[in-house]
Amino acid sequence: MADELSVQLLLVEDDHLLRLDAEELLTENGFQVTSVSTGEEAFAALDRDAENFSGVITDIRLGKGANGWQVGQHARQCVASIPIVYVTADSAAEWTSHGVPNSVLIQKPFVPAQLIAAISGLLNQTSMTSAGC
């Protein structure tokens, strides 16, 4: 995996306090974080800088507009192998039909270590599978 200090993540969470908590957790663990609160903001960030993001962490329910499933799909249209971590309180059953392959789903509430383990594991898998290219 690349040096964690250079790992830029896109965080998509509509709840302000949860977004701040997740951003702080990720930053404390050595990640650089760009955080947005809507699916549309996530689309814009991906359209602008997709190649600079090493991974995406998105809540499923983002209020009005695009949801987390759509964010994950858009991210994969921009970068086919980008790791996606979905976070949800009530949409886990939809993961198999709406989520993208090689992603992880975490159910709320979760302990902070679960989020770090999920994104780190996906980043490690991605770097191992792309190492031979």
87: in domain: yes
The Cα-based distances of 53 to 8, 37, 50, 83, 128 in angstroms read 5, 17, 6, 9, 17
133: in domain: no
34: in domain: yes
pLDDT tens-digit readout, 31-45: 999 999 999 999 999
Q: Comparing 98 with 35, which gets the higher pLDDT?
A: 35
Q: How far apart are CA 28 and CA 20, in angstroms?
A: 12
103: in domain: yes
131: in domain: no
Specify the number of domains making up the chain. Answer: 1
Q: How far apart are CA 62 and CA 37, in angstroms?
A: 7
132: in domain: no
94: in domain: yes
pTM for this entry? 0.90
Q: How far apart are CA 124 and CA 38, in angstroms?
A: 27
The residue range of the domain holding 36 is 4-126
109: in domain: yes
Question: What CATH number is attached to the domain comprising 102?
Answer: 3.40.50.2300
pLDDT tens-digit readout, 105-128: 999 899 999 999 999 999 998 775
pLDDT tens-digit readout, 43-83: 999 999 999 999 999 999 998 999 999 999 999 999 999 99
